[in-house]
Amino acid sequence: MVDGWQAASVTAHGAEALGPATTTEVADGVFAYVQPDGSWWINNTGFVVGDSVSGGEVVAIDATSTERRTRALLEAIGEVSDRPVRTLVNTHHHGDHTNGNCLFTDAVVVGHRNCRDGVRAQVIGGLDAVFGAVEWGDLQVRPPTLVLDERLDVYVGDRPVELHYIGTPAHTTGDVVAWLPAERVLFAGDLVFNGGTPFVLMGSVLGALDALERVRAFGATTIVPGHGPVCGPEVVDAVAGYLAFVRDIAVDAHAAGVTPLEAARTTDLGEYAQWHDSERLVGNLHRAMAELAGTPRGATIDIFAAFADMLTVNGGPLRCLA
């Protein structure tokens, strides 16, 4: 895995260097669309198709970051079903999951109430200083117009896709999972990263740990993470282990009166060093230390200062192959 992305990073920018996205049927009519390598701006999506008897409309879960990637996703859906995508679920507001919303022209976009606010506040692109040049394409911000607070069920024929707010600020303040109870498949959004560093700067460290308890409680046998390969519940333990690691570093740094940047620079990531985007540690520490200083979960903190520290730790723009 580590070898793979190092090779990609020296070869070229773009999806071509990473291999194609894969569409995998993880249960009957339930598909995971996984984009390698799951690093910054390269997310997973999914979709559920009905059959001609029970009703054939498609429910999709998340768009992607760029026009090119979202058009490829729509093509992949079209290879499986000739029926329209009538519902697009956003697991949260971040642009890697929502920039392409506008290309789902037949769909109503559904998300948490806070996700709608987040998308509305968003600008597509304009991030060259952080991520280098990205070809975002011709996209317009399109927020969810159907919002949920706690729970909403969307039916594909007779099959429910349960949308659950995760109950607390975690990765963001509006994280929703999509649960298929009969198939025991969970689309976890960015509550779960597989092979990449979890990122809770815009949410809460302790909230994310609580959210993972909620994720566990579904009893999923298959989890489609927001980034990285499809997995089982064992990956939840790995993510929780990392967040507890962040929490513990923050407690020590808070007691010692050192900054998130100083704490990050003296941290040995150990087993987590092999996960990509490791500079997220300092961003996560910004959130963790703010919480230790009394900032409520999900409250606004200085995101720009955190990204500046991530650039410092990384020694330049963040590795982005979107």
Q: Least Å distance between CB 223 and Zn ion?
A: 15
Q: Least Å distance between CB 43 and Zn ion?
A: 4
How far is it, in rounded angstroms, from Cα 174 to Cα 177?
10
* Residues 278-317 interacting with Zn ion (rule: CB under 5 A): none
Task: Select the span of 21-29, 45-53, 54-62, 190-198 touching Zn ion (CB under 5 A).
Answer: 190-198
Q: Least Å distance between CB 259 and Zn ion?
A: 27
How far is it, in rounded angstroms, from Cα 85 to Cα 70?
13
* Complex with Zn ion: residue 144 or 226, whichever CB lies closer: 226
Site string for Zn ion, 210-239 (x = CB under 5 A): ----------------x-------------
* Complex with Zn ion: residue 192 or 264, whichever CB lies closer: 192
Q: Least Å distance between CB 155 and Zn ion?
A: 26
DSSP designation for 204:
-
Q: Which of 57, 190, 291, 309 binds Zn ion (CB under 5 A)?
A: 190
* Complex with Zn ion: residue 96 or 309, whichever CB lies closer: 96
Q: Least Å distance between CB 228 and Zn ion?
A: 10
Q: What is the DSSP string of 154-198?
A: EEETTEEEEEEE-SS-SSSSS-EEEEETTTTEEEEEEEEESSB--
Among the listed residues 233, 321, 251, the one whose alpha carbon sits nearest the alpha carbon of residue 293: 251
Q: Which of 23, 35, 39, 43 binds Zn ion (CB under 5 A)?
A: 43
Task: Give the chain's length.
Answer: 322
Q: Least Å distance between CB 190 and Zn ion?
A: 4
Task: Select the span of 51-59, 96-104, 207-215, 262-270 touching Zn ion (CB under 5 A).
Answer: 96-104
Q: Least Å distance between CB 173 and Zn ion?
A: 15
Q: Which residue has the tokens 């290879």?
A: 79
> Largest Cα–Cα distance of the chain, in whole Å?
64
Half-sphere exposure of residue 149, counting CA atoms within 13 Å on the CB side? 0
- Counting contacts by CB under 5 A, is residue 37 touching Zn ion? no
How far is it, in rounded angstroms, from Cα 146 to Cα 111?
7
Task: Select the span of 13-21, 65-73, 88-96, 266-274 touching Zn ion (CB under 5 A).
Answer: 88-96
CA distances from 244 to 43, 142, 196, 235, 258 (A): 24, 35, 16, 14, 19
Task: Select the span of 37-45, 59-67, 78-86, 179-187 touching Zn ion (CB under 5 A).
Answer: 37-45
Interface with Zn ion (CB under 5 A), residue total 4
Q: Which of 37, 57, 96, 309 binds Zn ion (CB under 5 A)?
A: 96
CA distances from 319 to 6, 10, 59, 80 (A): 11, 11, 32, 32
Q: Least Å distance between CB 192 and Zn ion?
A: 11
How far is it, in rounded angstroms, from Cα 210 to Cα 95?
24
Among the listed residues 4, 22, 32, 15, the one whose alpha carbon sits nearest the alpha carbon of residue 188: 32
**Applying CB under 5 A, which residues contact Zn ion?**
43, 96, 190, 226
